[in-house]
């Protein structure tokens, strides 16, 4: 079978595993060091690219191609073009630049003109290049004062066999590299791997599907994608490989979705809506159209006799909590209990305060359950959860402890669910017989990524902000502008406002030259903000101390809160109007957007200042995106384009398979094709028992072991 989903992977428990089914081609699990041209040193370099086996190597596709099949005459070269020329050396030697740095220069000609080629740190060329040596050269053309030149071009000497002509006179693959690994070496290693192991790749797609969709066979696709004859052939090969990867993932997700819709029996909530209506009528504001639409979608789901599995997306401040409260009230009205699980104690306390304010006036009892609850208090409340005395339990991971039992859990809400692992979510679902589940996130997820991560869920989006919500002004500054930023904070505090100053580290690090919250707290309190009250908050503080600091800030007794990303979610202080994030280049865009969402929550204009010292163009691009927009979905897509899908998922999603060849954002059309085909297959043969689906079924089962879905496929 083909092996493009995962050859090696990090399992949910953090261990390195290799998928190795009985019919799995063991040759593809061969350690990459045994490929000709690799060895131990190269294997260490490839490991930095997450390449450990032959399968990993073969399914590391080129990131782009260069068409070196078309030759250009030297007389026709234009500055800035990438071009291939066939020529001969007319003169060559070592030359010293005016700055004293030596380089090797060759003057070449094809009869129509002269070009100068320059290479630095290339001592081997003195022996390799001689006068009249025939060359094929590829590189970027520079033209100045009539002189044509190439800086460090790629080249080949004379006429060579297939292996030596990997770099010229053809469509050439360009791979993602790591330190000390050059393109020429990478291509030669890949050539050796393809020739030695392509026969181990087996077909898992049914022949009927290949014919119907016009897809290349697996072996042909894999060899073609690395060494195509034309760019069109490269595109066709890549489509087939990406389609297969997406199809295997979607089969698991679609099977889960169809199983939950057609097989699982849940609770059909006979919702009247008295509690919800009383709650909505008590609100001091009108629900947005998006909130009303999503509440109706959730109610329709909860009325059905199958368990609801719904993803609720909404930008920071869009009012998801009100939507969740409405759903919980519907479950409680139907004599069920509800629970809300959050990843941090700060967020749990924030939700507890909100839900207590919403539900207690309706005569309902709400409990906060976290790990710091005393043994005596825990002994008191656990029986009351079990006998149904508490209508709603809000908590952290403490909710999934074995001793926590519900009388009848009707709705489980998981907030910032991407911060939980697969097992933790599954343990919460296991607290009842197929409860309704609402997972929420304020980290906007592009549609195609949502289909990849949560293709088994229905999706609701709160895409409208409440009336009167102030937009936050964002500016990017450099290190030398920090005194001005501090001065601006002082002015805001003088007006009665409050501010956050955020750092990436808790304490100083010998390995990272970054500012830390503890270090800067001492500096800011002692040397910068003499007349302001400054507090410190970070995740390593004891729970009681964190809660005390947050209470001081909420009550206005602290003007400035120096913090880490512990304030990323669950902090709501309407009077805080300024956020300064130092070393902002160290954060992802989604995280910066979440942090920025802590301000702009009141009636006053708010300001977010990002101090960065980016060393790459991508880092600057990311920060500039924050200046241009406050739309979380736009930011999420830009983050995904720049950083890639894997970096966005983070270690918390280790139970989900890393995509090696597909890009849900760039390959959205292929993803949609694969999802449609997955529905066709599962609807026609839910357990894929037909012989033609044997390969796909085996791959789905292997994925099941990694993904840990709630229902078994096949």
pLDDT digits (tens, 9 = 90+) for 3-18: 333 334 333 334 333 4
Q: Give the span between the Cα atoms of 184 and 275, in whole angstroms.
A: 69
Q: Are 517 and 564 in contact (CB under 8 A)?
A: yes
Q: Is pLDDT larger for residue 505 or for residue 707?
A: 505
Q: Is pLDDT larger for residue 521 or for residue 144?
A: 521
Phi, psi of 469 (to 5 degrees): -65, 125
Structure tokens at 583: 């070393």
What's CA 344's distance to the chain center, in Å?
Answer: 20
Q: What is the structure's pLDDT at 451?
A: 61
Query: Which is nearest to 273 in space by CA: 343, 231, 330, 232?
Result: 330
Long-range contacts of the stretch 540-545 (C-beta < 8 A, 24+): 540/506, 543/345, 543/370, 543/371, 543/372, 544/372
pLDDT digits (tens, 9 = 90+) for 260-303: 667 667 778 888 889 999 999 998 888 999 999 999 999 999 99
Is the pLDDT reported for residue 539 higher than 90?
A: no
Contacts with 86 (C-beta within 8 Å, 6 or more apart), sequence order: 71, 110, 134, 135, 136
What's CA 149's distance to the chain center, in Å?
Answer: 42
Residue labelled with tokens 């479950």: 331
| Residue 322 confidence class, pLDDT cut points 50, 70, 90 | very high
What's CA 511's distance to the chain center, in Å?
Answer: 25
Is the pLDDT reported for residue 583 higher than 60?
A: yes
3-class DSSP assignment, residue 553: helix
| Residue 397 confidence class, pLDDT cut points 50, 70, 90 | confident
Phi, psi of 236 (to 5 degrees): -65, -40
pTM above 0.75, yes or no: no
Query: Which is nearest to 395 in space by CA: 543, 275, 295?
Result: 543
Structure tokens at 5: 């989903």
Is the pLDDT reported for residue 419 higher than 80?
A: no
Q: Give the span between the Cα atoms of 349 and 394, in whole angstroms.
A: 8
Q: Is pLDDT larger for residue 643 or for residue 464?
A: 464
Q: What percent of the chain has a predicted confidence (pLDDT) above 90?
A: 39
Residue labelled with tokens 């930011």: 635
Q: What is the structure's pLDDT at 19?
A: 38
Mean of the pLDDT values across residues 508-536? 86
Q: What is the structure's pLDDT at 602?
A: 80
pLDDT digits (tens, 9 = 90+) for 438-496: 988 876 666 666 666 666 677 888 888 777 667 789 999 998 999 999 999 999 999 99
Q: What is the structure's pLDDT at 11?
A: 37
Q: Give the span between the Cα atoms of 500 and 610, in whole angstroms.
A: 12
Q: What is the structure's pLDDT at 699?
A: 82
Mean of the pLDDT values across residues 518-534? 93
Q: Give the span between the Cα atoms of 282 and 279, in whole angstroms.
A: 5
One-character DSSP codes across 647-671: HHH-GGGTTSPPPSS--TTTTHHHH
Lowest mean pLDDT among 52-56, 355-359, 510-514, 561-565: 510-514
Query: Which is nearest to 533 in space by CA: 577, 499, 563?
Result: 499
Across the chain, mean pLDDT equals: 83
Is the pLDDT reported for residue 498 higher than 70?
A: yes
Q: What is the structure's pLDDT at 711?
A: 35
3-class DSSP assignment, residue 215: coil
Q: Is pLDDT larger for residue 615 or for residue 82?
A: 82
Mean of the pLDDT values across residues 398-410? 90
Beta bridge mates, 516? 505
Lowest mean pLDDT among 260-269, 332-341, 401-410, 475-484: 260-269
Q: What is the structure's pLDDT at 238?
A: 96
Beta bridge mates, 441? 313
Q: Give the span between the Cα atoms of 516 and 420, in whole angstroms.
A: 26
Query: Which is nearest to 577 in space by CA: 491, 456, 649?
Result: 491
Contacts with 142 (C-beta within 8 Å, 6 or more apart), sequence order: 79, 148, 149, 150, 151
């Amino acid at each position: 079978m083909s092996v493009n989903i995962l050859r090696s992977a990090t399992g949910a428990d953090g261990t390195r595993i290799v998928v190795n089914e009985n019919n799995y081609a063991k040759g593809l699990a061969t350690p990459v060091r045994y490929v000709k041209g690799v060895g131990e040193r190269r294997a260490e370099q490839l490991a930095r690219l997450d390449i450990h086996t032959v399968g990993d190597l073969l399914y590391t596709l080129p990131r782009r191609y260069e068409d070196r099949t078309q030759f250009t005459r030297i007389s026709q070269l234009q500055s800035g073009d990438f071009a291939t020329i066939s020529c001969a050396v007319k003169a060559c030697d070592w030359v010293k630049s005016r700055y004293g740095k030596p380089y090797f220069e060759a003057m070449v000609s094809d009869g129509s003109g002269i070009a100068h080629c320059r290479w630095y740190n290339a001592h081997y060329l003195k022996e390799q290049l001689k006068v009249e040596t025939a060359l094929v050269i590829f590189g970027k053309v520079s033209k100045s004062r009539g002189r044509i030149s190439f800086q460090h071009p790629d080249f080949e000497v004379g006429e060579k066999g297939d292996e030596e002509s990997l770099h010229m006179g053809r469509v050439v693959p360009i791979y993602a590299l790591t330190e000390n690994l050059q393109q020429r070496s990478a291509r030669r290693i890949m050539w050796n791997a393809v020739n030695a192991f392509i026969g181990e790749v087996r077909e898992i797609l049914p022949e009927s599907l290949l014919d119907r969709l016009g897809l290349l066979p697996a072996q042909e696709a894999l060899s073609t994608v690395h060494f195509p004859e034309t760019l069109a052939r490269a595109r066709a090969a890549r489509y087939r490989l990406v389609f297969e990867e997406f199809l295997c993932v979607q089969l698991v997700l679609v099977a889960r979705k169809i199983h939950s819709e057609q097989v699982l029996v849940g609770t059909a909530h006979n919702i009247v809506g008295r509690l919800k209506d009383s709650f909505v009528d008590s609100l001091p504001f009108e629900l947005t159209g998006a909130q009303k639409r999503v509440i109706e979608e959730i109610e329709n789901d909860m009325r059905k006799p199958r368990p609801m599995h719904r993803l609720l997306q909404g930008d920071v401040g869009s009012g998801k909590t009100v939507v969740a409260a409405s759903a919980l009230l519907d479950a409680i009205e139907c004599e069920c209990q509800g629970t809300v699980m959050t990843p941090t104690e700060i967020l749990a306390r924030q939700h507890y305060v909100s839900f207590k304010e919403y539900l207690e006036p309706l005569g309902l009892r709400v409990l906060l359950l976290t790990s710091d609850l005393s043994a005596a208090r825990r002994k008191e409340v656990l029986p009351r959860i079990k006998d149904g005395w508490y209508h709603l339990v809000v908590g952290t991971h403490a909710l999934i402890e074995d001793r926590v039992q519900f009388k009848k859990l009707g709705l489980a809400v998981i907030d910032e669910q991407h911060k939980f692992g697969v097992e933790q979510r599954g343990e919460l679902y296991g607290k009842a017989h197929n409860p309704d589940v609402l997972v929420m996130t304020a980290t906007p997820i592009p549609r195609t990524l949502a289909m990849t991560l949560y293709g088994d869920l229905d999706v609701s989006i709160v895409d409208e902000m409440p009336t009167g919500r102030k937009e936050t002004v964002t500016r990017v500054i450099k290190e030398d502008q920090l005194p001005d930023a501090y001065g601006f904070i002082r002015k805001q505090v003088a007006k009665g406002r409050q501010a956050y100053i955020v750092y990436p580290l808790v304490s100083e690090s010998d390995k990272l030259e970054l500012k830390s919250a503890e270090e800067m707290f001492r500096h800011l309190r002692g040397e910068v903000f003499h007349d302001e009250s400054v507090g410190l908050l970070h995740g390593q503080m004891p729970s009681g101390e964190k809660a005390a600091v947050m209470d001081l800030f909420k009550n206005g007794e602290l003007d400035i809160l120096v913090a880490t990303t512990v304030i990323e979610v669950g902090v709501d202080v309407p009077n805080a109007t300024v956020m300064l994030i130092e070393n902002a280049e160290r954060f992802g865009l989604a995280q910066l957007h979440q942090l920025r969402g802590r301000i702009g929550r009141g009636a006053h204009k708010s300001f977010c200042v990002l101090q960065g010292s980016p060393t790459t163009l991508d880092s600057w691009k990311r920060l500039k995106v924050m200046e241009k927009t406050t739309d979380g979905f736009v930011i999420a897509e830009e983050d995904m384009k720049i950083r890639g899908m894997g970096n966005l998922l983070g270690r918390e999603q280790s139970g989900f398979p890393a995509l090696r060849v597909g890009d849900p954002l760039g390959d959205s059309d292929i993803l949609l094709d694969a999802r449609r085909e997955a529905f066709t297959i599962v609807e026609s043969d839910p357990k894929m028992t037909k012989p033609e689906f044997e390969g796909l079924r085996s791959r789905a089962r292997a994925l099941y072991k990694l993904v840990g879905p709630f229902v078994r496929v096949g």
